[in-house]
Structure 1
């Protein structure tokens, strides 16, 4: 049974079931277990001298451990591989979280702030409606790449071992890959490897959004926006999503009470947006998912004929 067919089954299973509360309220999610391991290593090693070397050791432990565990799990058969892949994809849950922000904004600005605080790390208490909407759409674009396309890509390339390596490093980057005094050295290796692992998926996500929205004529603008972005990868899907929806994204925002004057993405487009644009972003998430599933299905069909 081909890896491509397994991925199609996993994507379909994730789209149908998502992350059921009845299961994960009783059993720890694999991503939570990975986070627990990283947190334990952080507490034990992130102090004293040679923090960059210690951080590199953490990355090596995560990679070797993920490859080994992934290889063992792969031996259990295709059904287990499909289930593991479905669990570590995040399409349905991503759409649900983003849609919750739109529903919250329809209720009140306070409710919108509460919902968006669940998916972004920036300060949300004083956000305007437009800032809430932009934050949700930016999260949708970035997590479409990080939570759906990238894990699917690495599963396709290297099966369950590749998928587990990606999820471990991506989780490590989200926990220790910050440019703060505490993590600048210790999280350096995790952040750089995460940048590498997302290099192709982020640009692939961008291309799919552009293909679906027909914005090829503005490709040079998207490249320019992506290169100005604080992240080497997140700017690509954000730039494409901004033009697909005809909205401005990014711009100044607050972290820990400090305003960061970040560059606008598609800055000449409307900035005063709200719930309707958030719902349109959700539609685009499903459209990209459908395109990915369709391309994989065509590949399986062609391979079968050949």
Structure 2
């Protein structure tokens, strides 16, 4: 596929997924591709991740497993693209399949559920709603903690659930996006720093950091642009906060969209949080107020929608530029 076709495909897929999400009839008929990838990873991990071996052998086994997963998924992506990319109907099916690799609609709906619960029903239902989208302990979160957790999740997942798969879809077509989602799924399944996965998941975690690097910066730029068009804050204010605070984050990527979101909304995000029995002493992102509420979540969702719309327009414009240049 050429950049003309992949940029156009990316714009179409982003628009379709934003409006309809992943089609329910496809979910009933063929399931969800991410589930298939998860089954593949789970089946081979249990065989290759031998706890009795030394650390270097475990790391090597994890890298071999990762290469195997990528090879399987990559071959499937190439075959599907060649089978479907030969007609208008096939390209439509290709676009529908690609919507499964994005999470705009579901992410928006899950975060909106937190805001609605917090505004209409109170803290307890909101804790349950936010607990479905964050990994930290939600049981002790107050109103501000719930709101900040939802906004942080929205920012981070915009990067790795929307911007990153769209970026790799534009770069490598369906196969590129599928390979990205394989890496991202592998990181979520085996990239944890637990006794079982600390060594085996080392390669998956490092590669996930690498492939998310461009998207994290792009997500921050999109939030900065959305802040300007939405009257939230100036691009200079957002970018200054991002450049200053993003490197303080424990993740090499998550700090970029989180800080951009914080700068745009005039909030302070991040800080200490509890995962299971562990307290993570994270740095604060932004220099605004900490007392976030449901209205701030709705403002974050508006910023998210504007950033998503800008992204669609950018890919559509790039497709038109390549068409115009022949």
TM-score class, shorter-chain normalisation, is: over 0.9
What SS does structure 2 have at the residue aligned with 1:231? coil
Distance 1:181 1:191 in 2: 15
How far does residue 137 in structure 1 lie from its aligned partner after superposition?
Answer: 0.6
Distance 1:40 1:200 in 2: 31
The question of whether the paired residues in 2 share the 8 Å contact of 1:4 and 1:296 is answered with: yes
2:268 matches 1:248: yes
Q: Which residue of 1 aligns with 2:248?
A: 228
Match of 1:192 among 206, 217, 220: 206
2:67 matches 1:60: yes
What SS does structure 2 have at the residue aligned with 1:252? strand
The question of whether the paired residues in 1 share the 8 Å contact of 2:11 and 2:313 is answered with: no
The residue correspondences of 1:120-269 to structure 2 (distance < 5 A) are: 120-213=134-227, 214-217=234-237, 219-266=239-286, 268-269=287-288
What SS does structure 2 have at the residue aligned with 1:122? coil
What SS does structure 2 have at the residue aligned with 1:251? strand
Over the residues paired in the alignment, what is the CA RMSD in angstroms? 1.6
How many residues were matched structurally? 305
CA distances 1:211-242 after superposition (whole Å, capped 9, x unpaired): 22223245343123111101100100001000
CA distances 1:1-25 after superposition (whole Å, capped 9, x unpaired): 7111111221121112113556536
CA distances 1:231-272 after superposition (whole Å, capped 9, x unpaired): 100100001000111111111111112222211111x31111
- TM-score, L = length of structure 2: 0.89
Distance 2:175 2:71 in 1: 10
Give the 4+ runs in structure 1 shifted more than 3 A: 19-27
2:37 matches 1:34: yes
Distance 2:27 2:130 in 1: 22
2:300 matches 1:300: no
What SS does structure 1 have at the residue aligned with 2:320? helix
Identify unmatched segments of 5+ residues in structure 1. Answer: none
- TM-score, L = length of structure 1: 0.95
What SS does structure 2 have at the residue aligned with 1:262? strand
Match of 2:118 among 105, 108, 111: 105
Match of 2:303 among 284, 289, 297: 284
What SS does structure 2 have at the residue aligned with 1:263? strand
What SS does structure 1 have at the residue aligned with 2:250? coil
Distance 2:127 2:137 in 1: 10
Identify unmatched segments of 5+ residues in structure 2. Answer: 86-90, 228-233
Distance 2:147 2:241 in 1: 22
